[in-house]
Copies of this chain bind each other. A is one copy, B any other.
Amino acid sequence: MATAAGTPSTSALETLCLNTIRGLTIDATEKANSGHPGLPLGAAAMGYALWTRHLRHNPKNPAWFNRDRFVLSAGHGSMLLYSLLYLTGYELPLEQIKLFRQLHSMTPGHPENHITPGVEMATGPLGQGISTSVGMAIAERHLANRYNRPGHEIIDHFTFGICSDGDLMEGISAEASSLAGHLKLGKIVFLYDDNHVSLDGPTKMAFTEDVGKRYQAYGWHVQHVDGMDVEAVDQAIIAGKAEKERPSLICCRTIIGYGSPHKAGTSKAHGSPLGPEEAKLTKEALGIPLEPTFYVDSSALDFYRQAVPRGEKLEADWNDRLAGYASAFPGEAGELKRWIAGEPGEEWVAELPKFAEKVATRQASAAAINAVAAKLPNFIGGSADLSESTKTMQEGLGDFEPGSPTGKNIWFGVREHGMLAAVNGMNLHGGVRGYGGTFLVFSDYCRGSIRLSALMGTPSIFVFTHDSIGMGEDGPTHQPVEHVMSLRAMPNMNVMRPCDGNETSACWKVALQTRKNPCSLVLSRQGLPALSPEFVGAHPAERGAYVLAPADGDDACCLVATGSEVQVAVGARLLLQAAGVPTRVVSMPSWFLFEAQEESYRAAVLPRGLATVSVEAGATLGWDRYAQAHVGVDRFGLSAPGELAMRELGITAEHVAEVARELLAR
C-alpha cells in the first residue's frame, strides 16, 4: 500500500503497533455502528510517533502536574485517543473500547475529560481543542515564570495536539493561533492531520488557502511532512520542540481511512463506519487478523505499555526535583503546591471591598479584582480589547507578554471566542485561575467556549459588562437583551448579576471559591446606588436571592429584580407602599445559587402565592418561574443615553408599580 510520499520506514513491530490502533478503530466503529474511523486510520503514525517517542506522561497518574498535555482537537477521531490511552496503560480497559459510544461507557462518541482518565478536555466542536491548548500553554508559561529558579525547572512541559482541517477552518482557531504566535508560545506543538478530506468531500471544494503560509503569518514555525511516515513525523516533532520562540504546526499529509480499498482518501471514510464488508477488506489489506475482533497483539501491547514504567519514573524524578526545590525555596514550593491542589487559601476573602457609595458594578468588580490580586498570584486574565471598559485589569501587576515574564494581565485582542477557550485551557491546566472579560452582548461570540466550560465543569470566570440597554449610546448591536436568560438556560452555568458594589464583592467571592462550574459575572456600565448590606466577608447574595427590603406590613406584593433593576424595584416599592400596598423587594443575583438552597429558604424569600413582579432589563422569557407579571425588554434596544433608553422601554419605578397594581387587580 502506498503512503502519501513513498514507503514508510516502519519496522514490523511498528506496523503491528499502528495496525493495533487501526484494528481497534475499525472494530469499535463497526460494533457501535457509528463513529469516525477515517482519522485514526490515517493518523495512527502521528499518534504513535508522538505518544511513544515524545509525550511525557504517567498513565498511572493522569493528574501528574508536569505532564505534557495532549489535546485531540479533532475530537471526532476519538478512537485514536482511546486506543492510545488503553494501549499505554491508562485506566481504560479494553472492555470499555468495546462499549464505544454506548450508554454510560467510558468511551463516549467524542472525548470527555470528566468521563475518561487521561482525556485533557472535551473536544468535538471544532477549533476548541487547539484554542484551549493555547490557554494551557499560557498557564505553563506563567507558572514556569513564577516558580522556576536556576537549576529548578519545576514547571516545564509541552502542549501537544492533533488538529484537522475543520479545526483550522474555524474562526476560533484563527483567533487563538494568532494570539499564540504573538505570545511566542514555543512549547505548543500541534500536528495537523492534512488529509485533504472533510465530511462534504475533498477539502478543495471549500478550503484552498495556504494553511502553512497563514500560520507563518501568525508567527508559527511550520513544517510539512509525510504524516504516514513515523520517522518523518518524529523528526518534525523534534524540530518543533527545539523551536523555543514560535509555536509549531506540523502539517502531516495523511490518507484518511488508510487501508480501506474503496474508501481511503475519500469522505466515505470520514463520518461513518466502513461497513462489515469493507472492514474485512481493510483488515486484510493492512494484515490485521479478522478474528478475534478488538485484536491486540501482545508484542504491540508490551511495547506501548513501556509507557507505564517510563511514566512512573518521569513522575518520580519530578517529585525528587520538587523535593529539592522545596528545600531550596520552601515558600515558593508551598505556594505552588497549594495552587496545584486548587487550594489557594482564603486570606483574600477579607480583602474584598465593601461599598457605601454609588458605583458601577464593573467598577466594583475592578476594586474586587485588585483587592485580591496580590494575594492570588496565579489569578490571571484579561479582556478582549475592552480592558478600559470591562475594568478587568490588575493595576501595576504587569503584562503577560513575551518580554515581560511575570505579568498577570493578558491582552487577548479582539478575539472573544479564542479568549474564553484560552481561559478554559488555563483552568483545565490548573495551578492558575483564569478569567476573561468582554461586553455581555459579545458572549454571543464565545458561546461555544462558554458551553464547553459548563460541560467540562471548568471553573472559568467570565466577566461580562455593559449588561443591558442601560449601557446606552452604542445602541442595539451592543445592548444585550436575551443574553442573561440565554446563559441561565445553560446547564451548570452560574450567572450572577449583582445590584451594587457589595453584591459584586459577594459574587466575586463565590466565583473564586467555585471549583466545579463556570461563573458569568454580569455587570453594569452605569453607576448603581449601594442598596444591599455591606460585604463583611459574607453577604446574603451568596444564597442567590434574599429579601433586600421587607414589606412594611403583611406582604401584598413582591418585586424580584436583578442587577441595575433592583434600584428600580426599590423605587417602585416606595410608590406601592405609599399607595397602601406592603411590598417586599427580593434581590436575586443568581438563579443558580438560589435554586441550590433548601426549599424552606426559597419559600421564605419568594413565597408561593404572593403576587410577584419580575424586574429585569432583558428578555422576560423564563421569569414565569418566579413571577406572574413582568417588567423587561422583549425587543432590541436603541441608541440613546442609558437612562433615556431605560425610560423609553419602561424600566422605571412608575411602570413597575403600575404593572404590580394591574397584577393585584386581576
Contacts and interface: CB of A to CB of B under 8 A. Distances in A.
Contacts of A636: 454-455, 491-492
Given A200-B388, A489-B619, A206 B182 contact: yes
A472 B169 contact: no
A355 B179 CA distance: 51
Nearest to A480: B451
A641 B101 CA distance: 8
B473 A482 contact: no
A638 interface: yes
A341 to B, nearest CB: 27
Given A205-B399, A485-B489, 12 more contacts: A102-B641, A108-B476, A109-B639, A112-B475, A125-B441, A125-B478, A170-B175, A170-B445, A172-B445, A200-B387, A488-B621, A492-B636
Contacts of A262: none
Interface in A270-288: 271
Interface string A349-385: 0000000000000000000000000000000000101
Nearest to A201: B411
A182 B203 CA distance: 11
Contact of A213 (B166, B208, B213): B213
Contacts of A108: 475-476, 638-639
A460 to B, nearest CB: 16
Interface string A32-49: 101100000000000000
A428 B87 CA distance: 54
Nearest to A105: B639
Interface string A109-124: 1101000000000111
Nearest to A635: B491
Interface string A66-86: 000000000100000000000
A444 B455 contact: no
A413 B207 contact: yes
Given A200-B411, A442-B125, A477-B75, A640 B101 contact: yes
7 contacts: A101-B641, A103-B639, A104-B638, A109-B473, A170-B171, A455-B476, A491-B636
Contacts of A35: 473
Given A448-B445, A455-B636, A217 B206 contact: no
